Each structure stands twice: as C-alpha cells, then as structure tokens.
C-alpha cells in the first residue's frame, strides 16, 4: 500500500484516474465518507493535508479493493 500521499487531493486525483467513470467515482466517494467521515471529493482544509486522515482514507480504499499508486497522480 502506498503511504506516500501528502494530500487528499492527490488521493482523490489518483482514485479518479483509476476509476475513470465519474458516476462510479462519486459512488466510491460516498462509501469512503461512510467509512471515514471524510469527503474526498471536496476535502475540508482541516483534512486536506492531515497525515492520519490521509492514511485512514487510503486504508479504507484498500479495504474496499482500491489500492492506489502514488506515482499514478
């Protein structure tokens, strides 16, 4: 699992790139919000570059079957 993301914007963009379909991305963003309480579509300033929050979101995505590569951003 990549731990190198420095912001939720990077995570969001990597996920968008991986998913492609905007409807499917939105659906996954809702699932992430349910699991973590974090809105990855429009992350709040408090969450955006918060290391623990980023790790929590990445871990939730991995649990959902979406392992992201930081290099794909």
Partner 1 sequence: MSRLSTEDERGLAAALGRAMYDGGLVVADGRVRYANTTAEALFGAAPGELEGAQAGTLVAELEALAGAAELDELASAWLSERVDEEGEDDLVRLDGERFPARLCVTVLDEEAAAPHFAVTVQDVSERRALAAAMDAELVAFEERRLAALAANAEVIRELSLPVMSVWEGVLSVPLIGSLDRARAEDTTARLLEAVARESARVVIIDLTGLSAVDAASVDLLASIARVLGLIGTQCAIAGIGPQLAMAMVERDVDLAGSPCFATQKEALTFALGRLGWALSKGGVD
Q: Which is nearer to partner 1, 1 or 24 (CB)?
A: 24
- From residue 18, alpha-carbon distances to 31, 46, 52, 67, 68 in Å are 16, 25, 23, 9, 8
Answer yes or no: are the C-beta atoms of 61 and 13 closer than 8 Å.
no
The footprint of partner 1 (CB under 8 A) covers: 24, 27, 30-31, 34-35, 37, 46, 50, 52-53, 56
Q: Which is nearer to partner 1, 21 or 69 (CB)?
A: 21
Q: How far is the CB of 65 from partner 1 (least distance, A)?
A: 10
DSSP state of 71: G
Q: How far is the CB of 34 from partner 1 (least distance, A)?
A: 5
Q: How far is the CB of 31 from partner 1 (least distance, A)?
A: 6
CA distance 36 to 19: 20
């Amino acid at each position: 699992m990549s731990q190198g993301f420095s912001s939720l914007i990077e995570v969001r963009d990597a996920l968008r790139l991986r998913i492609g379909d905007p409807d499917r991305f939105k659906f996954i963003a809702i699932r992430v919000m349910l699991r973590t309480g974090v809105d990855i579509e429009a992350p709040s300033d408090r969450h955006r570059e918060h290391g623990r929050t980023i790790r929590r979101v990445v871990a939730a995505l991995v649990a959902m079957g979406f392992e992201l590569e930081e290099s794909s951003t």
